[in-house]
Structure 1
Amino acid sequence: MMEECEKGVFTVDFLVSFLWLFFIILFLASMASYRMDYANEERSLTGLRVLMDELAGDINIVLAGGPGHEMTFTLPSNIDGSRYQLWVNSSGVYGIINGRHGKSPIYPCILTDSHGNNRAITLKPGTTYKIKNLRENNRTVIMIEAE
């Protein structure tokens, strides 16, 4: 009789241990999945920040180059398969991807679109833009226009 009881205790101990191990494995798998998703979001945001830094650098180069200096800049259609938004105003380049925001500052300047509107300029993914340094009314103006 005692031998049967010990076998039953062994079976219950095994089942409890197995369930604990199963829950630990599930917890670790969910944590790993969360970390991988977070890493992918960070990679997309890093790609957006690199793009914004490149654009801000080109705007600063055109500004420093003086009147008549111009450069072209092509935006990718997506970043790591994610859609993004990008806009520029007189203080910096701003972007959003997967609900996360970024900013790259530029030297303060007067920024206009191709119609001469002095406001935030929304840039469309997959488009090539020309950045020009112009002299208007005795002041330096940076114009961003789609090609």
Structure 2
Amino acid sequence: MEFLNFNISMGNDNQGVATIELVFTIFIMIFLMIAILNLFETRFDSINNMGEDLSGRTFLENLSTLINGVNSNGNGYSTTLTLPENLNNNSYSILLKKTEIMLEFKGKRGKSVIYPITLINRDNEKLDEIKLFSGNKYLIKKSLNNDNLSSIHIYQIS
């Protein structure tokens, strides 16, 4: 096994070159390992973000389906909506407008289109938008407004 004893047959000049090559090789290996670990970390974070975005998107689609369902039924139809305290341990906010629902989640905004609706409050006053708060329970009801037009009431219940 001559390759194990290569330092014995080398002169002083060759030992320095072998040491520099060894240090350079170790440096390259460490650099490659750091690059690969960074790539894996980025991919893992990306997968986590996709999962969180997907849960927010699914939540938003379910909410728009619920509101569209109330709007599609006759006057007097109602349902309750209980919003979770958080989504994936992150706070969120919901803004309901006449033709869309907007979800703000982790600094990002998503929206889902709904059938055009007229929003009214308990006093039958038309609203441009309604903000829904996490952890609250809401009644969503289709009824007639003061102009005898179909409208959607959304208000907090206990």
Q: Gaps spanning 5+ residues in structure 2: where?
A: 1-8
- Aligned partners of 1:48 and 1:55: how far apart in 2? 11
Give the number of the structure whose alpha-carbon radius of gyration is greater. Answer: 2
In the alignment, what sits opposite 1:140?
Answer: 150
Query: Which 4+ residue blocks in structure 1 deviate beyond 6 angstroms?
Result: none
Percent identical among aligned pairs is: 26
Report Cα offsets for 1:51-108 as digits up to 9, x if no partner.
Answer: 1111110111101111000111111111111111111010111011111110111001
Kept in 2: contact 1:129–1:146 (CA 8 A): yes
Deviation at 1:117, TM superposition (A): 4.3
- Larger CA deviation: 45-54 vs 56-65: 45-54
Higher RCO (Cα < 8 Å, 6 or more apart)? 1
Deviates more, 1:37-46 or 1:126-135: 37-46
Of residues 121, 132, 142, the one that matches 1:123 is 132
Superposition TM-score, scaled by structure 2 size: 0.85
Gaps of 5+ in 1: none
Q: What does 1:75-114 align with in structure 2 at a 5 Å threshold?
A: 75-114=83-122
1: CA distance between counterparts of 2:137 and 2:122?
13
Q: Is the 8 A contact 1:59 1:131 kept in 2?
A: yes
Computed over aligned residues only, the root mean square deviation of the Cα atoms, in angstroms, reads: 1.7
User: Which of 32, 37, 41 in structure 2 is aligned with 1:33?
Assistant: 41
CA distance in 2, matches of 1:6, 1:114: 90
2 CA distance for matches of 1:23 and 1:114? 65
Note the C-alpha offset of 1:36: 2.4
Q: Quick check: 1:112–1:121 contact (8 Å CA) kept in 2? A: no
Q: Structure 1 residues 28, 112: CA separation in 2 closer, same or farther (over 3 Å shift)?
A: farther
What is the aligned residue count? 147
TM-score, normalised with respect to structure 1: 0.91
Q: Distance between the aligned counterparts of 1:83 and 1:97, measured in 2?
A: 7
Mapped to 1, the partners of 2:22 and 2:119 lie a distance apart of 71
Q: In structure 1, what residue type is equivalent to 2:36?
A: L
Aligned partner letter, 1:25: M
Q: 2:79 aligns with which of 32, 47, 71?
A: 71
